[in-house]
Amino acid sequence: MKKITLTLKSLIFLALVLFGTLAFAQSTASYNITFTSDWENEIIDPIKGNSTIAIPGNAHWSNLVGTTHNSNYTMVEMGTLASTGIKDVAELGNNDALMTEVNTQITNENADQWLQQSFSPFAAISSATLSNVVVNSDYPLLSLVAMIAPSPDWMIAINSINLRDGNTWKNEIILQLFPYDAGTDSGTTYTAANQVTVPNFEPISVLINEGPFNAKPIGTMTISLNQVLSIDEHNANQALLYPNPSNGIITINTSSANSLKQAFVYDVLGKEVARIENKNSKNQINYNLTSLNKGIYLVRMVLQDGSQSTKKLVIN
């Protein structure tokens, strides 16, 4: 009977905590961003194949590059003319001019960072992952581009994808991507000789049932929230605990106006197994819980003003 009482007590304790957690606005978050290609001849792959002609033997992708930015900057957009930077990526797989453009926007406080990741393997069917990209709520828009190579001026791109949903971060965004024509070269096959578009460049357009492509996507972009890293200062009664799950090393983050006073760690039976004191009233502290066994714990965090919150912590 005693065993049953303990089990019920632990379940009630855990349930009260889990259902009492409230969502709140954050200011910084970490994302993993992966593009996985499906670039294949439709005869070889009747289900996903998107090319109406044979894929070149040296088919590959240039680096996946871009930036996080605000609404004052547009890196790439269908229906507009490609910048020199976008032209060089789409035609040559060269990122230098685009990186210069982005760095100018960073200086002008319209962009936050330059992003770049290579594909692996060197092949038509490949992928690239930008891991742990830290995004600030002042720069919540994501734009990326990569060359479909070889090609005259074809690319994949995403434009100003908003990672925010009101005052919170989006958990996951999945996008099917189609080939784009940068409008700077008039070649119609993968290995066509250079044919500069004259008399003027044309707007960026999507290649659906155009050129060597049918109406199927060429790949999928998956943007996944990894963890929330910091809170807005106006959320003075909130505390963040991460990473979660954890290997035992945790960070607790609060607003500078209302820092952590102390935290209590409980096992699922409600027994206190660790206590954290924030003697210097820092708004971010790290703590080592590696001495605890793997499993589920509850962390009750008490702030300087007496407000409290409890979160589930998984140690693996």
163 and 293 assigned to the same domain? no
The pTM is what? 0.70
Smallest Cα–Cα separation from 30: which of 218, 253, 235, 219?
Answer: 253
Q: How confident is the model at residue 129 (pLDDT cuts 50, 70, 90)?
A: very high
Residue 272, H or E segment: strand 272-277
- CB contact at 8 A, 116 and 124: no
Say if residue 182 is in the same domain as residue 60: yes
> In which domain, by residue range, is 285 found?
240-315
To 5 degrees, how large is the angle CA 251–CA 22–CA 231?
45
Contact in structure between 88 and 76 (CB atoms under 8 Å): no
Q: Indicate if the pLDDT at residue 124 is higher than 90.
A: yes
Which of these three, 210, 229, 248, is where a domain ends?
A: 229
Domain annotation covers residue 61:
yes
Residues 41 and 172 in one domain: yes
Q: What is the CATH number of the domain that holds 282?
A: 2.60.40.1930
pLDDT at 288 > cutoff 80: yes
**Would you say residue 25 has pLDDT above 60?**
no
Name, in order, each residue with C-beta under 8 angstroms of 79's C-beta and a sequence gap of 6 or more.
203, 204, 205
Q: Which pLDDT score, from 0 to 100, does residue 128 have?
A: 98
pLDDT of the residue at 17: 44
219 and 306, same structural domain? no
> Residue 74's CB: how many other CB atoms inside 10 A?
15
Nearest CA-CA partner of 133 in 67, 73, 72 = 67
End residue of a domain, out of 229, 253, 274 = 229
How many domains in the chain? Answer: 2
Residue 180 pLDDT exceeds 50:
yes
Q: Is 212 in the same domain as 266?
A: no
Q: How confident is the model at residue 236 (pLDDT cuts 50, 70, 90)?
A: low
Per-residue pLDDT, averaged over 297-315, amounts to 90
